[in-house]
Structure formats: C-alpha cells, structure tokens
Amino acid sequence: MQLPRLLSPLDIGPVRIANRIVSSGHDTVMAEDGMPGERLIAYHEARAAGGTGLIVVQVAGVHPSAKYTTHVLMADDDACIPRFARLAETVHRHGTRIFQQLFHDGRELMESEDGTLPVALAPSAVPNERFHVMPRAMSVAEIHEMVRCYGDAARRMREAGFDGVEVVASHGYLPAQFLSPRTNLRTDEYGGDLDGRSRFLREVIDAVRAAAGPGLAVGVRISVGEESPDGLTRDDSLQALELVGPTVDYVSVVQGTSATLAGSDHIVPPMTFAPGYTAAASRAAKQVVDCPVIVAGRINQPQDAELILGRGDADATVMTRALICDPEMPRKAEAGRLEEIRACIGCNQACIGHFHAGYPISCIQHPETGRELAYGIRRRAASPRDVLVVGGGPGGLKAAAVAAERGHRVVLVERERRLGGQVRLAQEVPGRAEFGGAITNLAGEAERAGVTLMLGTTADAALVDELDPDVVVVATGALPRVPELETADDPVVLTAWDVLSGRDVPSGHVVVADWRADWNGLGAALALSLRGHRVTLCVTGYHAGQRLQQYVRDAMIAEAVRRKVAILPLVRVIGADADSAYFQHVLTDEPVILDDVAALVLAQGHSSVDALLRELQDDGRREVHGIGDCLAPRTVEEAVLEGLRAATTI
C-alpha cells in the first residue's frame, strides 16, 4: 500500500472511520431555511461515495443568536431533526461516518436577515476588528442558557443518527472568546485565570457529552495559535487543551481567527501558505492530549497527508478543499491512481470565495462541485458525434474532456505549442506558481478521455471545413485590452502580459495602471518589484486586489507592502509621455500626475478573440458553442463551467 497510514482505519472514541481523510466543517451556502436540503445532501453524498472516511458537517447554530450569516445551518429546534437525519442516512449508505459541528459565533457576525445590526453576544464588550462589531457582555443567566443550548443541539444530532459532534472553539468564535485573556475581561467565575476562562468551554463539553450519550464521539476544534494580537497564543491554546483534553474523544487543530484580516487568512489559507504548515501546531497538541488529533492546513495531496501522519504529527488529516476539487480523491488514492487526482491549487476563488459572496461553493477546476444535482452523473451521449474544440485553455480543455468522456470523438486545436492559455501567465505571478496545476489537471483529464490534440495549429474556417466536425466549441480566449491614451514623446507602454511573460522593462520607476483590480495588475506590480523596479500601482477601484478573494488579496497586498510597492487607489489612466503618467481621480475628475516614470504598464482588462466564433455562427452549417473569454472576458471559473455546460448538451 502506497499510503499505509492515510488509508488505515482510526478509532475516534466509540466510532471507527475507514481511513484518515477528513472533510472538515465548511460553510457551503447550501442550507435551505437553516436545514440540510437536496443540494447539500447531494454535495456530501458525492464525497462519501468518493471514499472519504469522515465528513464533519458545517457549523450549525445552537441558539437563535448564532445566525452569523443568513445561510447558516441551525440546530436550535427539534424541527431540524428529520432533515439532518436524511443527510446522515445518505452519507452512511457509503460507509462514511458523519459528525456535526455545534457553533456559536459570539461577536463574529458577518451579516443579518434584513440589513440591520443584531446584538452580538460575547464574554466581554471587546470589539471585533475585521467586522467592526461591538458585542454586549453576556450575563451569567445567558451563559447558562447557552450551555443548555449546546446540549440540546447535541441531543438533536443523536436523534438524527449522527456519529459524533464537534464543539467549535476555533477561529475566535464564542468559546475561544471566553478562553482568551484579551477578549474575556470578566471578573466573575467565567473570567480571570485559565480555570475561569475555560469554564464555559468545559461546561459546554460536559453538556454535549451528557446529551450525546455513549454512542457518539465528542470532539473540540481549536486554533493552536490565533495569529492575532487579541487572540489566543499557542501556549494559551495548549494550556486549555490540557484541561479539556481528557473530556473529549478527539481534538481538531487549526490556526487563525475570524477576528482580524491577517488571522482570518488561516481559515482557508491560499497557495502562498506551505502545504501542511500547521503540522507543528498539531504536533504540539499531541504532546498534551491522549486522544486522536486531526489537523487542517492546506493539505491538498495524499502524499502530503501521509508524511504528516508518518511523522506522528497528527492522527488524521483534513483535506476539505482537496475533496471539493476531487470528490473521488480517496478512491483514487486507494487504487494507487495518484496521478489521476485533480489537485487543489489553493486559489480560493469558487470555494471560500463563493461563500464570502453569498453563493453556493464550487471549484474552478471542477464546477460539478456544488452542482451535483445537475452534473453529478456523467451521462453517455445517445449518438457519438465528431466534436472540434478550438482553444487549449482551461475552458477548451474542460469541454474536450467532458465531451470525450461522454463518448464523442473529440479533436482539440491550439494555436500555441503548449496548452494553458492565460493560466500560463497567471502562474508567473510571484507566489502563484501552483495555479499552473489547473492546466496539468485539465490536460490530464483530456488525455485520459482520449482527446486528440493538434498543437501549434491555427484554426480558421478553412480548417474547420477540412476537419468537418458535427459540433464546434470555440474557446479562443482574449487578448490584453489597450485603451486609447493621450501620449506624447514616445512613452514606453507595455501590458501586464508583457511583464509576466518576461519582456524587458526599462530600469527605474514603473507605473502599473490597474483597471480590473484583480491578479493582473497586482501580479505585474509584484513581478516588477522583484526585478528591482520602484513600482507604483494605480488602481481604478477602492484598493488593489478588490476583485480577489479576501485571503488571496491579503497575501498579495502584504507582499506588495513588504516589497515597498506604492498603491494609489481611485484613479483611471488617461495618458503618458516620455517620463510621466497621467491619471484622473474617479470621484473628483481631478488630474493625478506621476513623474519620473520609465514605463507605463497597462492592466486594463481584455478584449475577446471572437472572429472565428462570429464567422461560424454566421455560416450556420454546424452546431457552434462559444465559451469563456471569447464570449466576454471573465475568469477561469466561467470558462471551465461553460466548457462543462457546452459538453453536457452535445
């Protein structure tokens, strides 16, 4: 066996899991009226069918005040039991164990039902930095009520047939707020020294244990270091674990907190974090508890998980995003088909990025995730057809792979000698090399499906006629948009693509004009700074990286600050001359002039390459589908999703 530890069973209290691959609690934005619905059940069933050993379902609020978002699951009323029971029954059919997270956010409120600010509860009136929430200190009576609510929620999960429950004391949520001497300023029995500050968590665990009964596993999730000025230090957390460890069946270790921007980046760490970087924290936890320790922290490959387990740093590994990207990862690992695993690249765009935007989560590489009811089963085509895909970027590769998997005869034509499209540039952004894995994964899928590749070939109407396909999928992408500018004295004007592809840039001060506020402008600025240039990044939006997922943006902006990149928001580029760049403030229309400029780099979005699509549509002799940027310039996510949709309809 290639992965002897990862694929071996593990006993967690009274529960045995078949392997040590864990899907941890993560909000899917798939709750219906606060309860599991068909979409959420289908989502978890896909991961159970793929061989996941343990699924821990996203947080369920134990009290009405725990609705930190409008789409959170709630376990505060007996009416939820039948819906949770349906979820448990479905997961159990595949031999997977299922636990439920029990949750209260405390001061960590993100939104409300109607836009008004609800009252946030906390141990003390200490404000939240990230969401700018000032909570109200709980009374002792409210604390007692909350403890009872945790127990009642555990009883509901027992009646619903769950195998275990997990008390969420991580990421600065309510139990962690009680634990921290910086957020718990109480002078009664729930504050003061560690014994007092840990009283709430200990009482919650006791209530949960009593209500869950002997057949359910009871665990606690805790941040071993919240990486925040007012949060738990690693020593704080380890001391708390020494107290509660003997009362639980397992400990789930993470890092970070919801309370600050930098601390929250650890909740779903982007690709700038090393795989398994939290292993030292779980290793420290294992020194103070005798129960199994589960660790989370960007563990996206079975080989990485096996190393962590083999070193004894943890007893099981959370691989949530790996399972979002490839629900069949455990089965593939068990069969030794490691090269077929679709590896998560830590882009955060469609998983946590969707959650932060209030949409059901998915994956840019695997848009079937979150859409299992529509695309969960790959159905063979009734009549195989000849399909031509034009363009070897991510959208074209997805369309080709899915069409071939459905039984069609597929040829993919790509103008360049290499596949990848814009992903080949995205992977050149400092700290973003892993993004190139999307093309490795999609190209592997196309190859295994039997797609015929024609590289270094320009597709035009004559080639289409020569190949004579039944269906053409056009995925010809886009090129950098270069707007009309007022120029004089022959300024050096380049594009972000020029920078990322390695083109020479004159030495000195370089100004990047960033219209879209995504990875293009910020990435070009970082690349230029690493090449020794003084860089000013001028953004049309409120801030650099405005359109990026927060944790990705935080990492890139932090690096820009470290690299001394100057950032100028709310300006649009209007012109340039030999040594100046001219901008206009987007709110006041006042001129903004930057002097001593050696080059102006444009990150002004893209223009569709759609001539072939229009020509084939006008011709009308064949079925034609346009996907991705040739329809309208957007992102990898839309291109891959549209490739899936097009190939499914053929």
Which positions are annotated as active-site residues? 173
Q: For residue 568, what is the DSSP state?
A: E
Q: How far apart are CA 640 and CA 339, in angstroms?
A: 21
Asked whether the beta carbons of 401 and 451 are under 8 A apart, the reply is: yes
CB atoms inside a 10 Å sphere around CB 366: 23
For 109-121, b/e burial (b = at least 16 CB within 10 A) is bbbeeeeeeeebb
**635 SS3 class:** coil
Tokens, residue 475: 């995925």
Asked whether the beta carbons of 7 and 341 are under 8 A apart, the reply is: no
Q: For residue 329, what is the DSSP state?
A: H
Asked whether the beta carbons of 271 and 301 are under 8 A apart, the reply is: no
Q: How far apart are CA 342 and CA 323, in angstroms?
A: 9
520: left (phi over 0), alpha (psi -120 to 50) or beta: alpha
Ranges of beta strands (E only) in 32-129 are: 54-61, 73-74, 97-103, 121-122
Q: How far apart are CA 135 and CA 156, in angstroms?
A: 29
- H/E stretch holding 142 reads helix 140-159
At residue 266's C-alpha, the angle toward residues 262 and 269, to 5°, is: 110
CB atoms inside a 10 Å sphere around CB 429: 21
**229 SS3 class:** coil
Asked whether the beta carbons of 118 and 112 are under 8 A apart, the reply is: yes
* Residue 196, φ and ψ in degrees, nearest 5: -75, -45
